[in-house]
Amino acid sequence: MSVKERDPLTGHQTTGHEWNGITELNTRVPRAIWFFIIVTHVWALFYWVLMPAWPTVNTYTKGLLGVDQRQQVEARVAAADAKRSSWSDPITSLTLDEVRSDPTLMAHVQRTAPALFGDNCAACHGAQAQGGPGYPSLVDQAWLWGADDETVLETLRVGINAPHPESRFSQMMAFGRDGLLDREQIRIAADYVQSLSRPAEEINADRLAAGATLFEENCASCHGEDGTGSQDLGAPDLTDEHWIYGGDEKSIFNTIFHGRQGWMPAWEQRLSETERRILTIYLGQLKETHHDD
Amino acid sequence: MLQRLTIAERQLALAISIAVILAGLLMAAAGSGDPMGPHGAIVMFAGAIVFLAVLRVIQDPEPLEDRAENYYDDPTRVGLLISLGWAVIGMGMGVWVAAQLAWPDLRFDAAWSSFGRIRPVHTSGVIFGFGGNALIATSFHVMQRTSRARLAGHVAPWFVLLGFNLFCVIAASGYLMGVTQSKEYAEPEWYADLWLVVVWVIYFVLYIRTLARRNEPHIYVANWYYLAFILVVAVLHIVNNLAVPASFAGAKSYSAFAGVQDAMTQWWYGHNAVAFFLTAGFLGMLYYFLPKRAERPIYSYRLSILSFWGITFFYIWAGSHHLHYTALPQWVQTLGMTFSVMLLVPSWASAGNALMTLNGAWHKVRDDATLRFMMVAAVFYGLSTFEGSFMAVRAVNSLSHYTDWTVGHVHAGAMGWVALITFGSIYAVVPTLWQRETMYSWKLVEWHFWLALAGTVIYVFAMWNSGITQGLMWRTYTESGTLTYSFTDTLVAMHPYYVARAAGGALFLAGAILAAINVYLTIRNVPQKRTEGDYPTPSEATEPAVPVAE
Amino acid sequence: MFRKILSPFARMFEFQARTHYRAERHSMALTVGIILAAGVGGFVEIAPLFTIDETVEAAPDMRLYTPLEQAGRDIYIREGCYACHSQMIRTLQDEVDRYGPYSLAVESQYDHPMLWGSKRTGPDLARVGEKFSDEWQVQHLINPRAVVPESVMPQYAFLLENELDVESLPARLHALRRVGVPYTEDQIDNAAIDARGQARPETEAADGVFQRFGDDTNVRFFDGRRDRVTEMDALVAYLQILGGLTDLPSQTRSLEGD
Ligand code: HEM
Ligand code: HEM
Ligand SMILES: [Ca+2]
Ligand SMILES: [Ca+2]
Ligand SMILES: [Cu+2]
């Protein structure tokens, strides 16, 4: 097929070749293609001149604009910081009560807190800070360390049993595992603990008395004579209806047998002081809107 | 089928299968207690099947036919059937993977069924299993026809085809057992990687030797692309998979590169796996089956030259667009971005060349679903390369990266381009290969076309929506200048799109199953006559015209 | 005018087309052409990453993964967590705000392979270390929806049942040394013992871990179980060190301290 043929449809010449029935036209490269090649290449050239682009052996061309992605983002973050300072500075320097009484500042708190809480706290304390097994509710009236602003702020900063040098430390001893009490004793103690929050329930009086003695000897040092706990030690009140690990027989048994040492992360490295303050205010608000059922 | 091999060839096949069985035995023995052990068993089993199949015919008489008289299509036929099998498996896994993101408990209470383990079964299953087999099978077909020469060898094509599938099976079963290097699209462990090198070298030699036999002075465009596919994939594969095994008796290995160098090597590989596996090879398919089916000349030889060298040269530079704003030095990102944009022109040149070839055949596109598959594939090729170049721009990528937008782009390319051109080519070639007039049912082809198109469109739109939504939610700031949404908020927003995607995927899968059924019905009772003209003819060609303008 | 601008290009292309025309008659010429055309880009982009010093920052305090952490990393790889989680905080404001200081190259200097990822179905994990407690990580891996109801992450409860394979650790650390991680002979030889020790505080084996990997190493009952060293121990130990290999990123951080 060496004879060049013309395609009857387009009138273009073929290249004169044929592969198993396939032929090719010798059409020019369309003008638009050249146009876009030029546009894209010229654009690329400009870009290379302006930006870091071509490597040499041990360095690279830095570009006329002197742009660097790391400096750019740092500048952007710093600028955003500066922009926020009109409201973040007061939140950091005023007392939280003063912040609470300033509607403009509170508007910023309201806007900022949900995502902050969602990204950092909700995983443990739940989306509504309602808590879950192993993680205390932050909206009930029971506090391990205290509900005042200073205490909560400090808890957030250093965490509880966290790998932070100043972390709060608290531990519920493992009476069973460490052989301080035997299983029966633990069962008795557990019954006693349950009776603290449910005095109405019928429990054998002897057993209760034995439990009281056990409690007196082993537990009162932390949870207090009457079992109302100690916020100095982070030991929970056992007489209320709020439980971290569960108030059923089995959970209480496990708590006493294996001990507990909840780990609340320290947020000093991860969240700024402003952010921790915002969260503290937010928790207070959640508590107000929360209805115990 | 195997009777067509000479006795010497059968003996060679037998020897190879024994070697494979021994290798499997060695792996099983050394790797007991490690996933390498089961892999050894799989290798042994594969070798044994071939061994038995060849043994059954070893005593049969020598073939009588004059083998130079016709093309050797047995490996192509088998390859296409295997490809369809992988299509159903791979896309079935895709639907499952998609469903797990919508309903995460839709799995078994077993380690192997978790998202992280079955996702690569989907990606490798469709890319290598479905795509790879289709490429190997069609390359054998196209290379012979455009060279007017029979394949250079009778054992080698089987070795390539079956060896490649052994690789695929080891890869997929490995993921389920937790054998992976966690390098995207290069997940298989060191022994599978090594085996693929062997297979690939034989593939290249076979290709070159067949080209050397050709009865045409010139090599047709489709073969440039197939050749680029074979060559560059070999280079990419070898470099990116360099690794040191923790022990030769176990699957675990550690990549030779670390950190930023590893990232660049990985995406140099990953992006060019797209370029030379999912693009170059399939362009080879397009350049043969589209003009053949449309019975029109290629629109422009010169455009073919321009786009081929453009694609070969520019693609390689673009890998760093997967690493924008990362710890990869910015100068590399600049190169990746600029070359990605320059790459658009040769890419569109191919898509345009294909579509312009249809000038004068648009009535066929209207009536013939097979040709429509190819036409729509070319459109999606243009679309996804445009989208790709757009996403390669740093500012755009800052939004799209890490989100479903990328997944949408992937599937516009993978479903819209790769799968559609493959199905189109299968429908075009199956009747030829099995000496039929047409497919068993053109209605089923028509149904498949619309299911595939609907599935793709639903999938891609769902992912555009979810990707852009998620990307925007991640970077939305409140009036106070603080982040508006938590990560969990974005998860909740994704759910409806994940449901839609699973539905779109199911439609696409249904189409693929129809294709398998249709092919099965077509090839029952194969008649024994040769199609007129489908055999090597002596070349009538002398020198064709030089490529100057008229 | 346009034609004039084009003419040199047209001539260049004409030359290229003719060259190609000759090459397409020789399969080997095509082969060489393809390899050359496709070889340049990779070389220019990858080779300088090994020769330009500033590519990887200097971090004198950069520490290695302990054997237990490396075992956890291998499990992270085995389970394909990279399919959903990135470990690469980009230089973008929202990412820095959400996840912390942008990732530096040096942080993955010993990561064979790197696990930067390409999809964030779940959040970035580059700095997840110590963000949550060990207990939370264990609960979350056993059943993510028990702690995060909206989660689509798979359950990995079996990790707690699987005894950790520590016997193969010396060989694994050795292989890592061959690809460039500076483990000492001592660290390699004692890898199995150290892996157990790190998950067993207050044993002699734990002392060895401090001695070989430094006093800041996390030695804990990561999975909460005292009797066994499980795959959960290893994975949690790995997760808890993410972002903690060097202090360099927080020193360059400009967000802190408002
Ligand atoms: C039945 C149709 C299909 C469905 C339902 C499907 C579904 C999926 C899903 C759910 C993912 C994971 C996305 C994620 O991690 O968020 C995925 C990834 C992927 N699929 Fe498909 N897929 C289908 C067809 C295909 C085809 C035909 C191909 C290729 C020829 C393909 C290639 C890929 C690739 C390359 C990825 C990885 C994308 C990335 O990492 O960005 N898929 N697919
Ligand atoms: C001019 C051509 C193309 C360019 C410039 C391009 C560019 C891109 C970009 C910028 C990304 C996103 C990277 C990220 O943010 O992580 C991407 C991802 C991807 N593209 Fe393309 N694309 C092109 C064509 C195609 C085609 C035709 C296909 C498929 C058949 C394809 C398959 C993929 C795949 C599988 C990924 C996902 C990689 C991953 O796992 O992250 N691309 N591409
Ligand atoms: Ca591999
Ligand atoms: Ca990906
Ligand atoms: Cu790419």
From B182, B229, B384, B405, the mutation candidate for ligand 2 (largest count of ligand atoms within 8 A of CB) is B384
* Most confidently modeled range among A196-205, B436-445, C124-133: C124-133
Q: Are residues A84 and A1 in the same domain?
A: no
Work out the mean pLDDT of chain B and round it to a whole number. 95
| pLDDT tens per residue across span B215-238 | 989 999 999 999 999 999 999 999
Distance from CA of B318 to the nearest CA of C (A): 8
Question: Which tens digits make up the pLDDT trace of C94-106?
Answer: 999 999 999 999 9
Q: Contact at 8 Å (CB) between C248 and C61?
A: yes
Atom of ligand 2 nearest to the CA of B391: 10
**pLDDT tens-digit profile of A82-108?**
999 999 999 999 999 999 999 999 999
pLDDT in tens, A13-36: 888 888 999 999 989 899 999 999
Same domain for A154 and A277, yes or no, is yes
CA distance A178 to A182: 10
Task: Report chain C residues whose CB lies below 8 A from the CB of B329.
Answer: 49, 52, 54-55
Rg (CA), chain B: 24
**Could you give the CA distance from residue B510 to residue A157 in angstroms, rounded to a whole number?**
56
Q: Does A204 touch chain B (CB under 8 A)?
A: no
Nearest Cα of chain C lies from the Cα of B212 at a distance, in angstroms, of 7
Provide the 8-state DSSP code for A13: B
Contacts of A231 (CB under 8 A, 6+ apart): A143, A144, A145, A146, A151
Can you give the pLDDT at residue C199? 97
Indicate if the pLDDT at residue B540 is higher than 80: no
pLDDT at B371 over 70: yes
Q: How far apart are the first and last CA of chain B?
A: 49
pLDDT tier, B549 (very low <50, low <70, confident <90, very high otherwise): very low
Number of Cβ within a 10 Å radius of residue A263? 20
Tokens 């192509």 correspond to B76
Percent of residues in chain C assigned helix, strand, coil, to nearest 5? 55, 0, 45
From the centroid of its chain, how far is CA B376?
Answer: 18
Query: How many beta-carbon pairs below 8 A join chains A and B?
Result: 176
d(CA B263, CA B189): 18
C158 alpha carbon to ligand 3 midpoint, in Å?
26
Checking if the pLDDT of C202 tops 90, the result is no
Architecture of domain C67-256: Orthogonal Bundle (1.10)
Q: Is the pLDDT at B547 greater than 60, yes or no?
A: no
Confidence of residue C251 (pLDDT cuts 50, 70, 90): confident
- Tell me whether residues A27 and B483 touch, CB distance under 8 A: no
- Decide if B208 and C97 are in contact by the 8 Å CB cutoff: no
B406: pLDDT strictly greater than 70: yes
Contact B182/C at CB under 8 A: yes
User: Domain-by-domain residue ranges, chain C?
Assistant: 1-55, 67-256
Is residue B223 within 8 Å of C23, Cβ to Cβ?
A: no
> Hey, which residues does A47 pair with through a beta bridge?
none
**Type of residue numbered C206:** A
Q: What is the atom index within ligand 1 of the atom nearest the CA of B418?
A: 30
- Residues within 8 A of C (CB atoms), A 49-88 only: 55-60, 69-70, 72-74, 76-78, 80-81, 84-85, 88
In 3D space, the residue among B394, B424, B472, B506 whose CA is nearest the CA of residue B98 turns out to be B506
Q: Are residues A91 and A120 in the same domain?
A: yes
- DSSP characters over A172-214: B--TTTTTSS-HHHHHHHHHHHHHHH-TTS---HHHHHHHHHH
CA distance B437 to B434: 9
| pLDDT tens-digit readout, B21-78 | 999 999 999 999 999 999 999 999 999 999 999 999 999 999 887 887 889 999 999 9
Q: What percent of chain B has pLDDT over 90?
A: 92
Residue ranges making up the domain that contains A44: 1-67
Residue of A nearest to C6 (CA): A34
> Residue A111 above 70 pLDDT?
yes
Say yes or no: C178 contacts chain B, CB-CB below 8 A: yes
| Alpha helices in B58-114, H assignment, sequence order | 74-102
Q: Do A102 and A228 share a structural domain?
A: no
d(CA B257, CA B394): 26
Domain-embedded: residue A170: no
Nearest to C162 by CA among C228, C69, C80: C228
Domain of residue A246, CATH code: 1.10.760.10
Interface test with B, best of A10, A27, A89 (most B CBs within 10 A): A27
Instruction: Give yes or no: residues A98 and A156 share one domain.
Output: yes
CA distance A123 to A132: 10
Mapped to the 3 state alphabet, what secondary structure does B296-360 carry? CCECEHHHHHHHHHHHHHHHHHHHHHHHCCCCCCHHHHHHHHHHHHHHHHHHHHHHHHHHHHCCC
B377 lines ligand 1 (CB under 6 A): no
Q: Judge whether residue A1 has pLDDT over 60.
A: no
Q: How far is CA B207 from its chain centroid?
A: 18
Between CA B56 and CA B117 the distance in angstroms is: 38
Strands A22-25 vs A14-19: parallel, antiparallel or unpaired: antiparallel
- Looking at the structure, do residues A253 and A279 belong to the same domain, yes or no? no
Split at pLDDT 50, 70, 90, the class of A292 is low
Residue of A nearest to B331 (CA): A53
pLDDT score at C11: 86
CB contact under 8 A, C179 and B247: no
- How many domains in chain A? 3
Gap from C205 CA to chain B (nearest CA, Å): 24
Identify whether the C-beta of residue B327 lies closer than 8 Å to the C-beta of residue C89. no
Q: Which residue type does B224 have? A: W
A11: its two tokens = 């009138």
**Residue B411 C-alpha to ligand 1 middle, in angstroms?**
6
Using a 6 Å cutoff on CB, does residue B81 contact ligand 1?
no
Partners of residue A262 in chain C, C-beta under 8 Å: 133, 135
Q: How far apart are the first and last CA of chain C?
A: 59
Nearest one of B263, A228, B75, B178 to C78, comparing CA atoms: B178
Tokens read off for A162: 């966290």
Neighbours of chain B (3+ CB pairs under 8 A): A, C
Assess whether pLDDT exceeds 50 at residue B357: yes
Determine contact, residues A257/A88, Cβ cutoff 8 Å.
no
Q: Where does the pLDDT of residue A2 fall: very low under 50, low under 70, confident under 90, or very high at 90 and above?
A: very low
Amino acid sitting at position A60 = Y
Backbone angles phi, psi at B59, to 5 degrees: -85, -10
pLDDT of residue A178: 94
Residues from chain C contacting residue B487 (CB–CB below 8 Å): 98, 122-123
User: Which is nearest to B359 in space by CA: A59, A112, A10?
Assistant: A10
The DSSP symbol for A17 reads E
Q: How far is CA A163 from CA A153, A155, B207, C65, in A?
A: 17, 13, 62, 18
> By alpha-carbon position, which residue is closest to atom 37 of ligand 2?
B410
Q: Where are the beta strands (DSSP E) in chain A?
A: 14-19, 22-25
Q: Provide the pLDDT for residue C258.
A: 35
pLDDT of amino acid C67: 98
B127 lines ligand 1 (CB under 6 A): yes
Q: Measured between beta carbons, which residues in chain A are less than 8 angstroms from residue C3?
A: none
Contact B547, C18 (CB under 8 A): yes
Query: Does any domain span residue A47?
Result: yes
ipTM: 0.96
Cα angle: A183, vertex A188, A191; to 5 degrees = 125
